[in-house]
Amino acid sequence: MLSCRRPVLRAIALVSVLSFFSLPALAGPGRVAVSSAHEEATAAGLEILAAGGNAFDAAVAVSAALAVVEPASSGIGGGGFWLLHRAEDDFSVMVDGRETAPSAASRDMYLDEDGEVVRDLAINGPLAAGIPGAPAAWVHLAGNYGQLPLADVLAPAIRLAEDGFTVDAKYQTLLNFRAHVMLRWPETAEIFMPGGEVPDVGTRIRQPDLANTLRLLAEQGFDGFYRGPVAEKLVAGTNAAGGIWSLEDLAAYEVVEREVIRTGYRGYELLTASPPSSGGIAIAQILNLIEPYDLEALDRVGRVHLLAEAMRRAYRDRALYLGDPDFVDIPVAMLLSSDYAAGLRAGMRMDRATPSAALAADPSLLPESDNTTHFSLMDAEGNLVSGTLTINLPYGAAFVPPGTGVLLNNEMDDFSAAPGVPNEYGLIGFEANAIEPDKRMLSSMSPTIVKSEDRVAVLGTPGGARIITMVLLGILDFIEGNDPESWVSLPRFHHQYQPDEISLERGFLSDEEIAELEALGHEVTVRARTWGNMHGVMWDRANDRVEAAHDPRWDSGGAEVRELR
Ligand code: GLY
């Protein structure tokens, strides 16, 4: 018997002030478009669309396929946010499949006797793992929005787990970061590092236990993962290795439907992620702050300076106010109000950087990190899905409970383990994002849809703390008239309040431009590594064009547009 839970619908007071409007439903483009981080996942989405599935069926197929072929970035042991837009009734919602803290979790669980955060416990192994939300979200999406049976939409992922997929350079690069941790659990290492070695490009990775777990999910729905033999193995394996999960934690997991953050900017309507993501509020705040400025009239230094000043203020508020809306009261109306933006803007100057220390809260530092995954897709009717999925750091907790094939997330590190102490992304937080049993940890994932009567964009990216600013830059580029190829390739820069610095991708600004920013009072760091992996789809209704593009920074992505009716 296939179980599918009824949706839990939760709204918070979301009132955006720039403009709050709803556009008429759009007639379909007659073509489909899929862009994801792996060509096998893109192929899975296209296969389901060709079989008569809609965008929501395809979203499940892509998500589940990514879980198999891109284990570094997301998975059945993780979670995500799926932003849906249904064309026929102009309905939009965010499906929240974020992980939850186990019920035995406690506020100080990662602190040693001196009150210091033990980073190893927060990011490596079972104690770092939240209760997965992805499988429940797939069941929810297929049951409530899809038109094909769950077993059909999971079939490509089951096939990929059974038959295997080929190791590529990205798999290798990200595994190199985590191999030393994974080797602590030989059964886990054997799946992803056969013989205990990081595999060569071209090696085939088969995951028979994962195929069995996916098959049970396909046959039984929610209960196939969250109750019965899979749940029992997950709990036994996790706890034998130091975890704190219970069968009740799994059985009690609930997908939540969240009202999307809706805002307007220069004639476009933006639909973006709501809490427990911080992304939508931060993006809306930044757009609010920059609204009166003519961005296109600024030179590159002026533009980076202005956006960095707005970013720093939004990330300060992220640290202070944002957390799981089911546990904390988030002052959403205030954060998105034009009065609040005007107050913050009053302290912004074009001739000088504001030191972050002058805006109340505490300092920290930022390590590099890439993680998470994103896909964007559209069906022939114009239904849209923007999905950002994660197991947190590359290869998550680097631990698979034996016999399940389920690589666990290390999402607990997205909580604030101690007030003002940075997590792995250098992000700080306070009370609103403290650990509590069953609470969802704050996220930066920002799946987004931007539309006007003429043009529609679906976009998002992985990249930890930098997700928000990458999506913001992509939104601005789309609104300035550019295609997905341009949004996904844009050089990136970022400011997250603390550390008080603008970080730049190498080669974006000249030494002279960097010196100009420094003269304004900015600390500027040029990063050796690029960041992000953006996937975008655009429908230009006015010119009857559909485009899809994947980020050129990694060559494993797949983006395709097809004629399908
Ligand atoms: N784990 C990354 C995020 O949710 O923001």
Q: What is the pLDDT of residues 385-405, one digit of tens each?
A: 999 999 999 999 999 999 999
Q: How many CB atoms lie within 10 A of CB 203?
A: 17
Q: Are 175 and 72 in contact (CB under 8 A)?
A: yes
Q: For position 468, what pLDDT does the model report?
A: 97
Residue 458 belongs to what H/E stretch? strand 455-460
Q: Which of 322, 393, 409, 467 to mutate to test the pocket of ligand 1 (most atoms within 8 A of CB)?
A: 467
Residue 228 DSSP SS3: coil
Residue 264 DSSP SS3: strand
| C-alpha to C-alpha distances, 402 to 27, 250, 305, 392, nearest whole angstrom | 48, 17, 50, 21
Alpha carbons within 13 angstroms on the beta-carbon side of residue 179 total 14
Give the tokens for residue 202.
């071209």
Q: Whose CA is nearest to atom 4 of ligand 1?
A: 443
Q: What is the spatial distance between Cα 29 and Cα 496, in angstroms, rounded to a whole number?
A: 38
For residue 148, give the nearest of 60, 272, 273 by alpha carbon: 60
Pocket of ligand 1 contains residue 392 by CB under 6 Å: yes
Q: What is the spatial distance between Cα 238 and Cα 403, in angstroms, rounded to a whole number?
A: 11
Q: Are 417 and 251 in contact (CB under 8 A)?
A: no
Considering 372, 390, 448, 469, which one is annotated as catalytic? 372
Q: For position 565, what pLDDT does the model report?
A: 56
Residue 244 belongs to what H/E stretch? none
Q: Whose CA is nearest to atom 1 of ligand 1?
A: 392
For residue 465, give the nearest of 339, 540, 365, 383 by alpha carbon: 365
Residue 32 buriedness (CB in 10 A; 0-12 / 13-18 / 19+): buried
Pocket of ligand 1 contains residue 414 by CB under 6 Å: yes
Beta strands 384-390 and 79-86 are antiparallel
Q: Which of 73, 389, 414 to mutate to test the pocket of ligand 1 (most atoms within 8 A of CB)?
A: 414
User: What pTM did the predictor assign?
Assistant: 0.92
**Ligand 1 atom showing the smallest separation from residue 465 Cα:** 5
| C-alpha to C-alpha distances, 98 to 4, 276, 282, 319, 438, nearest whole angstrom | 17, 8, 18, 19, 11
The segments of the chain whose pLDDT lies below 70 read 1-26, 360-370, 565
Q: What is the spatial distance between Cα 443 and Cα 324, in angstroms, rounded to a whole number?
A: 9
* DSSP string covering 500-533: --EEEETTSS-HHHHHHHHHTT--EEEESS----
Q: Are 397 and 131 in contact (CB under 8 A)?
A: no
Q: For position 426, what pLDDT does the model report?
A: 76
Find the 409 Cα to ligand 1 centroid distance in Å: 10
Residue 83 belongs to what H/E stretch? strand 79-86
For residue 433, give the nearest of 449, 448, 446, 414 by alpha carbon: 414
Beta strands 502-505 and 384-390 are unpaired
Beta bridge partners of 117: 111
For residue 34, give the nearest of 57, 59, 52, 53 by alpha carbon: 59
Q: Are 160 and 439 in contact (CB under 8 A)?
A: no
Pocket of ligand 1 contains residue 445 by CB under 6 Å: yes
Q: What is the spatial distance between Cα 518 and Cα 520, in angstroms, rounded to a whole number?
A: 5
Q: Is 263 an annotated catalytic residue?
A: no
Pocket of ligand 1 contains residue 370 by CB under 6 Å: no
Beta strands 524-527 and 502-505 are parallel
Q: For position 346, what pLDDT does the model report?
A: 85
Task: Tell me the domain boundaries of the chain.
Answer: 28-85+113-254+382-411
Q: Are 71 and 192 in contact (CB under 8 A)?
A: yes
Q: How many helices (H) and strands (E) would you count in the chain?
A: 18, 19
Q: How many CB atoms lie within 10 A of CB 453?
A: 13
Give the tokens for residue 138.
């797939």
Helices 134-145 + 208-220 axis angle, to 10: 40
Pocket of ligand 1 contains residue 443 by CB under 6 Å: yes
Beta strands 31-36 and 373-378 are antiparallel
* DSSP string covering 13-24: ----SS----PP
Please state, for a pLDDT cut of 90, what percent of the chain lies above it: 85
Q: For position 555, what pLDDT does the model report?
A: 86
Q: What is the spatial distance between Cα 433 and Cα 261, in angstroms, rounded to a whole number?
A: 19
What does DSSP assign to residue 9? Answer: E
Find the 27 Cα to ligand 1 centroid distance in Å: 34
Which strands make up the sheet holding 502-505, listed edge to edge? 493-494, 502-505, 524-527
Pocket of ligand 1 contains residue 444 by CB under 6 Å: yes
Length of the chain: 565
Find the 456 Cα to ligand 1 centroid distance in Å: 25
